Structure 1
């Protein structure tokens, strides 16, 4: 029998797998996905904010729609600009840690979470950096544990 994935096809598949496993690809993909998720999250949060909607009840419908569109756009871009870099920083850190340790386990997520959380909170001082490290590491561990548990089922 002939193997359909022999020769040039197999080589191209291996090159594609190597490219998709590379740190730059993971960072860009996570940044783009974080940006998209942040945009969706911003639109959702804008739609349930009663403070901004209660102030518009006495305005004409056209003005209300214009103000809601402006508010949604502002929140969407703000959340996207927050989630995008967080995803890229976390993914890049995890990839570097995993490459350095040459292991794939939960400690890569915990270390990347700690470094990411600590870096994001660094401007607020050392106490905030430690808190960011601990909380982001715990969140990363919980997500990683949950995802690993789901694979077993």
Structure 2
């Protein structure tokens, strides 16, 4: 059973970069529309024009920045999957840290270290929350009656996960 229903690695990089661009462009459009509206001269029409102008100028740039981050992250993640021969949360955490460091390389060693720490911690939090949600959501599929821990017993006894017989129409 596959844990992730994702594209194979070469295509995953393009897919993740495109998804990151879309997220960045949409989020940037929302943020820049508010910012442009607030910073425009007084008058509703001028504020709408300022909002639209800010969205046209800045949203593609923000989307491009997100796409670069997503592409570098996916490239490193795929490389780690290939090197380690397994796909687990440690790959994502290490990819976040290395992506942060790589994208801050022009700012110096201190910025690289702090960006790597922030990227690693951010991805660790994201992975941790994902694991917690997976465990919480899997609890709802456990049998209520503890004597039926084995799912094959449930089927052979003719009962469902709630301990009652199925209703047929």
TM-score range, shorter chain: 0.7 to 0.9
CA 1:36/1:86 → structure 2, altered by over 3 Å: closer, same or farther?
same
Q: Which residue of 1 aligns with 2:26?
A: 40
User: What number of residue pairs does the alignment pair up?
Assistant: 132
Query: Of residues 13, 19, 43 in structure 2, which corresponds to 1:27?
Result: 13
- Counterpart CA distance in 1 for 2:39 and 2:63 is 25
Larger Cα-atom Rg = 2
Q: Which structure's relative contact order is higher, taking Cα pairs within 8 Å and 6+ residues apart?
A: 1
Q: Larger % of helix: which?
A: 1
Normalised to the residue count of structure 2, the TM-score between the two structures is 0.71
Contact 2:40 2:51 in 1 (8 A): no
Pick aligned residue for 2:54 from 56, 71, 77 = 71
| Cα distance change of structure 1 residues 65 and 52 upon mapping to structure 2, 3 Å threshold | closer
Per-residue CA deviation, residues 97-130 of structure 1 (Å, 9 max, x unaligned), is 0111012222111211111000011100001001
Question: Unaligned stretches of 5+ in structure 2?
Answer: 137-169
Secondary structure of residue in 2 paired with 1:48: helix
Could you tell me the TM-score, scaled by structure 1's length?
0.78
